Amino acid sequence: MEESNIIVITGANTGIGLETVKSLLRSSQKYHILLGGRNFEKSRLAAESSTSEATSQSSVEPFEVDVESDESIQRAYEAIAAKHPRIDCLVNNAGSSSSTYSLSAKSGASFDAYIQDGSMTARQAWNKAWDVNVTGAHIMTSTFLPLLLRSRDPRLVFLTSGLSSLQGASDPSNPRNIHPPAGLPKTQLFAGYRSSKAGLNMMMVEWAKTLKNDGVKVWAVAPGLLATSLGGDTELLRKLGAQEPSVGGDIIRGVIEGKRDADVGNVVREYLTPIQPW
């Protein structure tokens, strides 16, 4: 009997994480997908919904994990390690925003808009963005590493954003790089989010170096502009050129299934250029 590849995906009860689960279920390859979310009941319902929509040889198992909590991550690891001898791929998706542009600065793990409405201080918003997008993914990776290293073909994926590119953010020809007039007040709609995702890219590079001699393939994936509910008005996003959310799931599945093995250690994408400039 063919052995299933075991895939762990955080933040998978909605958005691009759930689309990745659905894409894997459409694959001809056999997977056992561990669908993680902060709320177990929501994860369970997402797992049931995803499997009811597809005829697949693969399976989905829900689990609970909050990447802002070391204790929650450790509990998730112990529960999974008690049932599974290894994992073959860890997809750090929790907190990802599926689009390179959003109608709302409150989408994904972006908290910049809360500064503007006064519900968070700048320190609170920036710390939370970094905690979810960077620190949480780092602790998740560190904790699950013993299981990942038992795989014959270990893979590690971080979900980033087109907004994380330093070159893109500083390109004077990019119409999205707006220079406001002199004087106060100043508003930076995505500064905390963009900074955290740029930090995540550096973290990915560090993991790629750290795990090179262990044979672990590591990437960050920028899925592009997708019409998910995390981006706000999905119809307007489509008018702006957003693709269907399933496209993002298929991009991540391609990485899991070896499509981008030549590009380890990079931020990979399937629009503009195959590798996102730093």
Q: What residues are labeled active site? A: 161, 193, 197
Label the pairing between strands 273-275 and 267-271. antiparallel
Task: Point out which residues pair with 158 in neighbouring strands.
Answer: 92, 220
CB 216, CB 132: distance < 8 Å: no
Which amino acid would we find at residue 136? G
For 42, counting Cβ atoms within 10 Å of its Cβ (0-12 exposed, 13-18 middle, 19+ buried), the class is middle
What gap in Å lies between CA 246 and CA 113, rounded to an integer?
27
What gap in Å lies between CA 162 and CA 277, rounded to an integer?
9
The CB density around residue 232, as the number of other CB atoms within 10 Å, is: 17
CB 224, CB 243: distance < 8 Å: yes
The residues, any chain, with a CB within 8 Å of residue 104's CB and separated by 6 or more, are 113, 231, 232
CB 89, CB 9: distance < 8 Å: no
What is the token pair recorded at 137? Answer: 């993914």
Task: Point out which residues pair with 273 in neighbouring strands.
Answer: 271
Which amino acid would we find at residue 278? W
CA torsion angle 159 163 165 166 (round to 10): -140
Starting at the earlier edge strand, list the strands of the sheet with 89-92: 59-64, 31-37, 5-9, 89-92, 155-159, 217-221, 267-271, 273-275
